[in-house]
Amino acid sequence: MFASLPDLVDEIADGALVGVPADDAGVAMAATRELIRRGARDLRLFCLPRGGLAVDVLVGAGCVAEIETAAVALGEHRPAPCFTRALETGRLRVADATGPALHARLAATERGVPFMPMRGLIGSDVLAGRPDWRVVDDPLAEAGEPLVLLPAVELDVALFHCPAADAAGNLWIGRRRELATLARAAERTLATCEEIVPGSFFADERDAAGALSSLDVDAIALAPMGARPLALAGHYGVDADALDAYAEAARSEEGFRAWLDHALGQAVLA
């Protein structure tokens, strides 16, 4: 279960459907660097619910073929330059979605049902680009009100970073319960963590509620500061200067390549 970072990343096959969390939820930036070093190709990213720095860097490095997401941006006020270029040049397939729809698709998989119904999508422009989503009449409504059926999606891999793992292979995810949803909707769950601690999080009732069972985890790699330059709640904040520097450098293809060459030589992707 415990692996080196390169060995953990080797579990992600080219072409895999990979679930990743939002920038504030525990992004595996150290693993992102290893994926690029390995030369990963044709990855399909499922963002819960939006993509950020890791997604943009992977797109810029040529690792990604398609993305399903509600948005891709570097925080509230920064565009995602590599994503934008790839979209404009047609090098990237993007399936537009909404945050609730993405959560609903994973929830269907987690619950073992083929689809999840939603009403809030009715009348939105998103439906026009999603032929895989079905609009049907609500069978329980007398007036036949429309519903959207969102198909369950089984991820090949869930990949994220968390504060800690214990000796039994359980993960501490705290209040980030969306990481549990990702894990339970994936064939394999790969996680990096800040530290490995003795004992079991499930030994204490106060810790158990914030833990993800080892039954839902396949491999763990130790990666201190593994989310940097993004934040990890309770451990370190976002490095805004590093994000600004990236956004400026990645405005051009040449600038991105220079940034990437430098970043891959560093202990922290920044």
Which residue segments constitute the domains of the chain, with CATH numbers given? 2-97+153-263 (3.40.1080.10)
pLDDT digits (tens, 9 = 90+) for 178-201: 999 999 999 999 999 999 999 999
The residue count for the chain: 270
**Token digits for 176?**
């980030």
pLDDT tens digits for range 217-233: 999 999 999 999 999 99
Rounded-to-integer distance, Cα 144 and Cα 141, Å? 5
Q: Tens digits of per-residue pLDDT, 68-82? A: 999 999 987 689 999
Q: What is the mean pLDDT of residues 20-47?
A: 96
- Distance, CA of 101 to CA of 103 (rounded, Å): 5
Q: What percent of the chain has pLDDT over 90?
A: 89
Q: pLDDT tens-digit profile of 119-178?
A: 999 989 999 899 999 999 998 888 878 999 999 999 999 999 999 999 999 999 999 999
Structure confidence at residue 52 (pLDDT)? 96
DSSP 145-172: -EEEEEEP--EEEEEEEEEEEETTS-EE
Mean pLDDT over 237-257 rounds to 95
**Structural contact between residues 2 and 220, judged by C-beta atoms closer than 8 angstroms:** yes
Bridge partners (DSSP) listed for residue 22: none
Q: Is the pTM of this model over 0.75?
A: yes
Place of tokens 């959207």: 148
What is residue 57's DSSP assignment? H
Q: Name the pLDDT band for 1 (thresholds 50, 70, 90).
A: confident
